[in-house]
Amino acid sequence: MKSLILIVIFMLVAGSVTYGQRMGMRGGRGRGRLNWNSGRIPTNIQHRSPSAVTYYDNKDGAKIVKSSHFEFDYMLGRKITFFCMAIGIPRPEITWFKDGAELYQHRFFQVHEWTIGNDTVKSKMEIDPTTQKDAGYYECQADNQYAIDRRGFRTDYVQIGLPITGKYRDPESDQYYNNHNGAKITLASHFDYEYVLGHKIAFLCVAKGNPRPQITWFKDGVEIFSHIYMHVHEWRIGKDKMKSKIEIDPATQMDAGVYECTADNMYAIDRRSFKTDFSIAFD
């Protein structure tokens, strides 16, 4: 009986030692195999399928092909315009940013968009009238499901009397801003005018371009609007011309100053100015 008990105890002890050795060896192998695998076999997460190989270089990705990529100085109280055109399939969406924050339309800020075919979009951003707070870094961003493209340009303001200037960064931008479809004033009241108090005064401006330009009137750098004593008349001529006439009746001493006609479309801005003063009729 004692011999049987001793045999059973011996078998239990031997089994425990063998199991411990096996577990130790297995644990050692496990750790060795884990380290070997992690050091020799990299995790491939860059391209999980063949279609992903060309995803980030996809030919249909959004791409900006034209934009207002120059340093721009604007006059306080005037309108400034920025342009951006992008291509891609599907057609990209264009978003505007200022100093890193997305811009949204409001009373003095407008965005106009045109779609061309199945792959092109044009966007024009207008700020009118401008203030000192409109100076900063603007960015046009085009994106679709394949790519994002950006163009940035910096603006600053100048006082009235200094010319609006632009520094072209490459030949493409020079060709863009000298586009033959850009707004151009062909006829205007470009002379010094002396009017009689109490009489009617009128100024004329004709511009052409494709798309048809918009004509805006300014007095001493501030946009003017129709009221009871001032009227603006416009006529569309053909597909590319706009004619505008401003009438003030009766004229007073307050109407003396520098008037300006501004024509603009997505490609260019043109201006003509003329100075007026009053005289007193002695009847």
- pLDDT tens digits for 226-264? 888 889 999 999 999 999 999 988 888 888 888 888 898
Please indicate whether residue 22 or residue 279 has the higher confidence score (pLDDT): 279
* Predicted confidence (pLDDT) at residue 24 exceeds the cutoff of 50: no
Class for domain 179-279, per CATH? mainly beta
Give mean pLDDT, residues 68-90: 79
Cα separation, 283 vs 134, in Å, equals 51
> What was the pLDDT predicted at 70?
59
* Residue ranges per structural domain of the chain: 55-158, 179-279
pLDDT confidence of residue 279: 65
What element of type H or E holds 101? strand 101-102
What's the token pair of residue 9? 């105890």
Residue 244 pLDDT: 93
Residue type, 253: Q
Mean per-residue pLDDT, 95-115: 86
| CA distance linking residue 151 with residue 272, whole number of Å | 31
pTM, two decimals, is 0.42
> CATH number of 55-158: 3.40.140.10, 2.60.40.10, 3.40.630.10, 3.40.50.720?
2.60.40.10
How large is the greatest C-alpha to C-alpha distance in the chain, in angstroms? 153
- How far from the centroid of its chain's Cα atoms is residue 248's Cα? 37
Q: Is 219 helix (H, G, I), strand (E, B) or coil?
A: strand
> How far apart (Å, rounded) are the C-alpha atoms in residues 63 and 123?
14
**DSSP for 126-149, written as a single string:** EESS--GGG-EEEEEEEE-SS-EE
End-to-end C-alpha distance for the chain, whole angstroms: 153
Share of the chain above pLDDT 70, in %: 67
Q: Give the list of residues 6+ apart from residue 197 with CB closer than 8 angstroms, or none.
A: 250, 251, 252, 253, 278, 279, 280, 281
Q: How confident is the model at residue 6 (pLDDT cuts 50, 70, 90)?
A: low
Nearest-angstrom CA–CA distance, 215 and 208: 10
Give the least confident one: 60-69, 71-80, 95-104, 133-142: 71-80
94-98 long-range Cβ contacts below 8 angstroms, 24+ apart: 94/121, 94/123, 94/140, 94/141, 94/142, 95/140, 95/141, 95/143, 96/123, 96/125, 96/138, 96/139, 96/140, 96/141, 97/138, 97/139, 97/140, 97/141, 98/136, 98/137, 98/138, 98/139
Distance, CA of 95 to CA of 102 (rounded, Å): 7
Q: How far apart are CA 236 and CA 72, in angstroms?
A: 31
Question: Are the CB atoms for 194 and 216 separated by under 8 Å?
Answer: no
Domains 55-158 and 179-279 share a fold: yes
